[in-house]
Amino acid sequence: MKIAFIVHDYHRHGGHARYVAELSARFKKKHEVHVYTSIWEEPNPEGIHFHRVPSFRWTALTTVISFIIPGSFIPFKNYDIVHAQGLCGIRQNIVTSHICNKAWFEAAEKYGGPLPWRKMINKWIITLLEKMTYRPSGAEYFIAVSNRIKGDLVREHRIPKNKIKVIHHGVDLSVFNPDNNQVFGIEIKNKLGLPGNEIIFLYVGDWQKAGPVLAEAIGKVDGSKLLVVTKTCKEIVWGDLKKYGSIDRVILCEPTREIEKFYCASDVFVFPSYYDSFGMVVTEAMASGIPVITNHSVGAAEIVTDGLNGILTKDPWDPNQLADAMQKFVDDPELSKRMGASARLAVEGLTWDDCANQTMNVYKEFLNKKL
């Protein structure tokens, strides 16, 4: 096959960029792979043909708007498969939905309150573009990264269920592995001065979609510390921590490309996000042998069995529910080990190889329909 991927960025540091990089690395072994992108970072580019797509990268909004026009004019006739990632164009054979922006904005307003005017403009433009991309005739098949996204596509964009394939993201089981916990765990604990007699909770991600409730909940849980790894500016994080008097419970860390080490230093991963299409951090934590506290607003919660390998709260932003779940691990220090072992087992079949194989099956189904 000749396969063309369309993606804003190409690298291995998370999100839809990581998804394309993982699939490309596998498909290039047997197929001709082309990647249309604005920027790329590929440690092993042999066998992949890169094509630069011009875009104005001042903000996320300008990137999307400027990319979608040239991204819509990829020479279809040159390829067997044109596979776009979300808002990259309005013409493609296959499109993977990594987020439903309309549903995301609804959740942001429900839990975070009215949007400031800049985000209101973003909402209006992005949802309009998304409506064009996620129209039923916009692609032959839509790949949803979770059942929650499939539901969003059906409800918000009226896409027929038979055109949607659910394929979960994979996880690198060698990088995120309990066998690494002893070495990396000691390294990070010594670096951060973490106490050995307290339960260590970890949060990784955008602070604003989970942080405020975490700031309140951690203040209710004695005998614990919370590690936070986020790109959100420190002033916002410290503001919430001061509001709830929980500064002494939290250690704020800079973003890192060695996030696997932080899982190793933690006992429980906590992710009370009000919206996440999948949440690779959830499966990375589980692969590291760490149980998860999350909720059904997160796509990867589909992999969590409540009470077996994690705890699912009913309300994403109820600090009492969250604190009660966290307290269980403080009251029973062995609980995280028992649940962590089950968490690892739950994701051992969730590999990037499997993700690639399922995606290739969608390609073949599409091509068979054309015959």
CB atoms within 10 A of CB 210: 28
Alpha-carbon gap, residue 112 to 63, rounded angstroms: 25
Nearest to 300 by CA among 175, 166, 146: 146
List the pLDDT tens digit at each of the 371 positions of the chain: 999 999 999 998 888 999 999 999 999 999 999 999 999 887 677 889 999 999 998 888 899 999 998 988 888 889 999 999 999 988 899 999 999 999 999 999 999 899 999 899 999 999 999 998 999 888 999 999 999 999 999 999 999 999 999 999 999 999 999 998 888 998 999 999 987 789 999 999 999 899 999 999 999 999 999 999 999 999 999 999 999 999 999 999 999 999 999 999 999 999 999 999 999 999 999 999 999 999 999 999 999 999 999 999 999 999 999 999 999 999 999 999 999 999 999 999 999 999 999 999 999 999 998 77
CATH 3.40.50.2000 fits 2-170+351-370, yes or no: yes
3-state secondary structure string, 245-284? Answer: CCHHHEEEECCCCCHHHHHHCCCEEECCCCCECCCHHHHH
Phi/psi region, residue 221 (left: phi>0; alpha: psi -120 to 50; beta: rest), is beta
Q: In the chain, which ranges are E strands?
A: 2-6, 9-10, 32-37, 39-40, 48-52, 81-85, 94-97, 141-144, 164-166, 199-204, 224-229, 250-253, 268-270, 292-295, 310-313
CATH number of 178-347: 3.40.50.2000
Alpha-carbon gap, residue 286 to 344, rounded angstroms: 5
What is the three-class DSSP state of 335?
helix
Please check whether the two domains, 2-170+351-370 and 178-347, share a CATH topology.
yes
Domain boundaries, the chain: 2-170+351-370, 178-347
CB atoms within 10 A of CB 345: 13
Cβ-Cβ contacts under 8 Å for 200 (sequence gap 6 or more): 189, 194, 224, 225, 226, 227, 265, 266, 267, 268
pTM: 0.93
CA separation, residue 79 to residues 33, 88, 91, 96 (Å) = 10, 17, 13, 18
